[in-house]
Structures are given as C-alpha cells and as structure tokens.
Structure 1
C-alpha cells in the first residue's frame, strides 16, 4: 500500500476577527482578548495517494481557497497537521507571483526558481514554458501589458512543465480562451497519467466529475461529504436544488401564431466565439416536431463543424431538462461509444433517437454539448434550446415525470397464506 502524498488530520484554520481596527492594539496593550475567532476550516481530514485526483466543491465562502492555500504551502494550519510530500506546483489566484514590470521570460525564470529549480534546470525548462504558453513576441513584453488570459497562459505553463508530484489548480483556467482551456486540461490529464496527484477546485461540476476520482464537499469550513466524485457531486447538486425549490418561469411554447412553428425550431445561428475557426462549433440542433405525445418517436438532429480537430475527438452530449430545472436524462456519443457521421466537408452530424418517449405531460427543453474525447473539455454548447411540450393521452398512463415499464402481481400465493398473515 502506497504512502499518502497528501495527509490532513483534524486541520483547522482560524482568524481573529475584531469589531474595530483599534481593538487589535488594545488587545496587545491590555493583554485581554477583544476578538472573536472565525473558523475558515474546522476538523478537515483526508488523504490522497500518488496518482489520486481530488475535486473540491462547495459554495462561495465554504473554505475552498483556504484549503488550496494550505495544500500549496502558502498557509499554515492553526490546528491539526497538514503534510504534503514531493514537489508542489500550484495555480491559484490569477497573476500570483507575477511581477508586472518584468517581461514574460523574466517572470518565467523567476517562477521556475521559486519552485526550486536550479539554474541548469531553468535553462532547460524555459523553452518548454514559452512554447506551452504560446505568447509569441509578447514573451519579451512586460506582464502589465498582458490580458488576463495571457497571464493564465504563462502561470499555467510555469506550473505544468516542471512535472510536479502534486498539482493544485484553482478555477483560474476559466479566464483563458477555449483553445488554451483544452490544452491545459489535456496537460493535467497527462500529469495524472504520469503518477502525479491532482487537486482541482472548480464550480464546473461536470469537469470535477470527469477529471477527479474523489471529491470533497466543503460547507462553512467543514467537510460535508468526502467520497467518490460522482456521489459527492450528485449530493451537492441535490442540496443546491433543495435550497431553491421555486421553479423558474415557465418556458413559453407560444409563437406569433400560437403553437411554435417549425421555423422556431430551425437551425440555431452560430455565435461569436473568439477562439478562431479551428475549433469545433455547433451548427444546428433540431427536433423532429415541437409537440409530442407520450410514447411518440423523439428525434434530435445535431450538426457541427469539426474545425481542425479529428473526428474521433468530437462528441455530442444531450440533456433533457424539465421547465422546473430537473434534469430528466442525459447521455453522450462518448459514453455510448458512437462516432459522429462525417459528411466530408468539415461538417459532422448525429441523430439522437428515442423510439417511445417515456416522458409524461410537461414542458421541456434540451441542453446540447459539443465535447472532446476526454469528456472534459466543452467546445460549444446550447443551453435550454429546442423547447417542446409533451402531452399524455390520459391519466391512465400515470403521474410524475416519466412512464416506467411495470406490472402488478399477486402479493400472496394463496388464501391460506393471507389468512396466516392477518392472524400474525
């Protein structure tokens, strides 16, 4: 059994909180406490082995950033023990450690030095940092002239090229462009395959579920749940939905002529993206009809441009969502092992078919996702599109969300058994 690379035992972090700024001075002079303690973390215990991956989720203010700083070595616990073995590389707050007056090259050298590399190692790694960041001529310009996305490129490149034993990543990747997000996620998976340990904090629960084997849900500084990523993410989503039981405004299916026409379900227009023509994009999402009866044929046709990506790296995910924000069902070509159809002109397509739609009466819509072969990176998406209505023929089909195959059976084998049961 391998030794834990990360081991936290009953860890706590508390800060003194003063009602007035002068109270800190009065406390020191009078030698009497004039503060209350704010517990950013309390009694946190967890262990990760080499090659493990941990997602950290929770509401804002739950203690996620504090835990990341502990693991990165930027903060010491006020209670318990926090042990991290091996070389750590952390990507936390945007621009952390960057000197705005220095060039990208100078900041890269300094960042590698701060991570413990020797002069010879820095010389060897510097070209890899610059190649990964793809800053071009801006590498020689002061960092203060960089956009936030360029800063993310440089910071992540420094963190990722040194082959860390522990990689700690906050949500800073969300600032980068789509091209670099995919490149960074691919690099994170490569680091994992090489045996490193990953700690990934994100509000993107889909990425947490796909990237991480384990997850911890923090709530008000304490561990609400720790376990496999799927279980923890599902529990967190259930809790969030439970806090907001009020459904959103109903999705209108009315058009100028009453019920939606086929034109209302026409191919969706391309949206401006800003990452160039080389990336896949959704071209259209269409339903075979705007209204359905329970057990009708249900078809969704999706067309996409494949850009410069290989066909095997393009997949479609579809989620059916009810108008009270309940996810009824979701699946992807990736999970089903199905490849998109190649039309030979840079366009690919697929058709999602449910032979007998089991949904009962209600208003629904689709979410459509264009993802890569890892299932982590999202090229493009359409959220809450293709609204449709389902009507059931009669209440004999039941109530609720969906019709389920079922049967009724005799509960007892004979009258004698039933008599005995009543006597008991």
Structure 2
C-alpha cells in the first residue's frame, strides 16, 4: 500500500474535535413519536451518548480509543467517519477517510462482492480508472476469488470482514478508522491485517483504532483516550491511558482480566514446563521451557512470558523481541528455555502467561495460561515481594554540635 500523499497542511492535526456531544431521543413507545409531532410536546427522554469530548490526532500517527461496551466509542467513530453528525461541538477532519466499523454495514447485501468493491471505492472518491486498477488487488488481499461474484448476503462474517478491510486499506486513505475489525477472522488473516496496518502507519497514514486488545493500542498508537459513560476519563500517551484503564478494570472486577479467546493459528504451543518443579526458592535458578509447532517453516516467531501473582498483580515479563533476540524461523518444531539464574522473588504463589507471537511481536498466534503454576519460598522470614541487589554504606557522622540558632526543640 503506497504512502498517503503529502499534504501542504501537514503540520495541522488530521483530526481536531472540540466539545463534541451526541444526544439521542429515546421514546418509550413508538406511538410517542407521532404524538410528539402532533402535540409539539416532548414525549421522549434525552440520552447523552457523548458529552464534551475533545482531542487532536496529529497527522501520520496512531490514535487509540478504549473503554467498556456502551461507553460511546462506536458513536464517536461514526461521527468521525461522517456517518452521523454531532449534536454539539466542532469537528475538523483533514484528508480522505476510510472506515471499517460494523462489519458489512457498508455493503449492499443483494450486490456481489465485486459490485460492492466498485460501489464503495466510488463513494470514497476513486475514479473509474483507479477502481479498475485497484479491484484485482482488493480481491487478491481478501482471498475471495471464487466468491467475489456471489451476493454479499451469502458471505460469512469473516468473509465480509476480509472484503471490508481489503477495500478500506487498498484505496489509500489519509485517515483509516477501525472499530474492532482485528478481532474477527482466523489467525492467519489477523496477521495479514496487522502487517497491512504496519505498512500503512509506516507510510505516514493516520490511524484511529478502537479495540479491547490493549496490546494493539499500545503497539499502533502514540496517543489514546479512554471513554466512560460518554465522557473522556483519561487522555494522553497511550501507555499511560492503557495503564489507567487496566487498573480500573482490575479494581472493578476484583481480579485479573478474563482471557480473550485466541483463534487457533499456524503456530500452536504444545507444552509449557517448569523443569525445577512447582516449588522455587529465592536465590536459586528458575527456568521455563516452551515447545511449539509451526505449520509453515517460513513463519517467524517471538516468545513472551508474563509472571503474575495469583491475585492478579503483574510482577514482570520477558520477551525475546524486546531482549533483542532474533526471530525463530526455519523449522516446524521449536523448544525454547527461559532461565533466571538468580530468582529474586521472596514468597507467594504465581501464575505464568506464555504468548507465541509473530515476527513483529504484535499478533498472538497462541497463548497458554498456567494458573497457580508455582510457589516461591524464602529461607528466612521475608517482607515484600522481591529482593533487589543492594549495598549499604556510611557510618558514624561524628558528634558535630548544632549552632544555637539551629537547635532542635521537641
């Protein structure tokens, strides 16, 4: 995908929102709509889906949108996409916008996939020649060759997602808006979508991403906002906003997040072992061994391991990519060992989270969670969670008398 064309107003934000609000009229009975028109008296209640939402998205950067279901995220994305208008506030969007919101919402069910490509590309402003040039690329990316001339109403959800994603990313928008589209489809196509988004953002495209997967928000977005009940609960650097949101979820649930389902992909974890057993001791060596299988020797893999206390407190994490290790590739079976020569945990019971990642360290091919995997004992009574290498220095400071004006009084 080619980089978006340079804009003469490149220094201006791609999106600027000021005090956006959206109010819907909620009628308790369909008849109340007619009565309201006739009597000119309100027979509805106002539902504020968005209130006083302000932010800016710099051109060429990723911007994340997070929050619980019903927080107003989809409403905001529809306003940014031009599908609906705000009830109040100001919005400025600079550049061509392509969006992937509710899957299949932009398709005419009676038209074929090919006809929907032409229709959607034309709505996005492509010329007839550009549509003719892009159509084979869109079909190739979606991998719907044998179904492309069938009505879209016969497509599965995954097929509609493939087609929608292919159209939105192939028309070379300046701004790409995605609402949870990466959570649908098999692992292979999810990986393909991630690679396409990396290509888009590295080429200078502006990405607005809404997702419940915090690792996508952290990876693709430099800034983010957290919506809660239609209002901005937090905004700023994505890492900080994600941290606040995760702390809120943990406090609300009283426990760690429920694991999101992982669609089986071309890489699968076969075994996770603790060669030293389920009891570890502070100051001794500790190791984790992971075996996995790959359907394709050409695929690249990285491994991530997280360590949580059983009450959900995140203790530490390790990753081959973050540690500068080369990606694993060239085989169908792998066995990797992580070793801590001097375990500094003092005491407690801990869970292990093992992630099999792609070569970019973004897409999760597989995951295994070992709840209450091992316990740590200390040779003596210990206070706290971990021991840190340290040293003491100093001693007697002498008996220097304080001057009268500096005397201390108790």
User: TM-score, normalization: structure 1?
Assistant: 0.86
| Selected match of 2:16 from 7, 11, 20 | 7
Does structure 1 residue 301 correspond to structure 2 residue 289? yes
| Selected match of 2:250 from 226, 241, 248 | 241
> Any unmatched runs of 5+ in structure 1?
249-270
SS of 1:334's equivalent? coil
Q: What is the alpha-carbon root mean square deviation over aligned residues?
A: 2.5
- What's 1:260 paired with? none
SS of 2:60's equivalent? coil
Instruction: Report the structure, 1 or 2, having the larger helix content.
Output: 1
| Selected match of 2:317 from 330, 333, 338 | 330
| Distance change >3 Å, CA 196–CA 273, structure 1 → 2 | closer
Residue 34 of structure 1 and its aligned partner are, at CA, apart by 3.0
Distance 1:40 1:72 in 2: 16
Residue 229 of structure 1 and its aligned partner are, at CA, apart by 0.9
Residue 310 of structure 1 and its aligned partner are, at CA, apart by 4.0
Distance 1:26 1:64 in 2: 32
Does structure 1 residue 388 correspond to structure 2 residue 397? no
Does structure 1 residue 125 correspond to structure 2 residue 134? yes
Does structure 1 residue 286 correspond to structure 2 residue 273? yes
Residues 358 and 404 in structure 1, CA contact (< 8 A), matched pair in contact too: yes
Residues 53 and 212 in structure 1, CA contact (< 8 A), matched pair in contact too: yes
SS of 1:154's equivalent? helix
More deviation, 20-29/366-375 = 20-29
More deviation, 226-235/385-394 = 385-394
Residue 303 of structure 1 and its aligned partner are, at CA, apart by 2.3
More deviation, 217-226/412-421 = 412-421
| Distance change >3 Å, CA 384–CA 207, structure 1 → 2 | farther
**C-alpha offsets along residues 103-126 of structure 1, whole Å, 9 cap, x if unaligned?**
211121112122121211111110
**C-alpha offsets along residues 207-228 of structure 1, whole Å, 9 cap, x if unaligned?**
1111111111111111111111
| Distance change >3 Å, CA 104–CA 274, structure 1 → 2 | farther
- What's 1:174 paired with? 183
| Distance change >3 Å, CA 238–CA 418, structure 1 → 2 | farther
- What's 2:357 paired with? 371
User: TM-score, normalization: structure 2?
Assistant: 0.89
| Selected match of 1:349 from 335, 339, 347 | 335
Distance 1:412 1:34 in 2: 81
> Any unmatched runs of 5+ in structure 2?
1-9
Residues 306 and 314 in structure 1, CA contact (< 8 A), matched pair in contact too: no
Distance 2:354 2:367 in 1: 6
Moved over 6 A (4+): 409-412
| Distance change >3 Å, CA 196–CA 380, structure 1 → 2 | same
Aligned residues: 395
Residues 349 and 372 in structure 2, CA contact (< 8 A), matched pair in contact too: no
- What's 2:59 paired with? 50
Distance 2:19 2:328 in 1: 53
Equivalent positions of 1:256-275 (< 5 A) are: 275=265
More deviation, 294-303/158-167 = 294-303
More deviation, 56-65/20-29 = 20-29
Residue 241 of structure 1 and its aligned partner are, at CA, apart by 1.0
| Distance change >3 Å, CA 99–CA 332, structure 1 → 2 | same
| Distance change >3 Å, CA 68–CA 247, structure 1 → 2 | closer
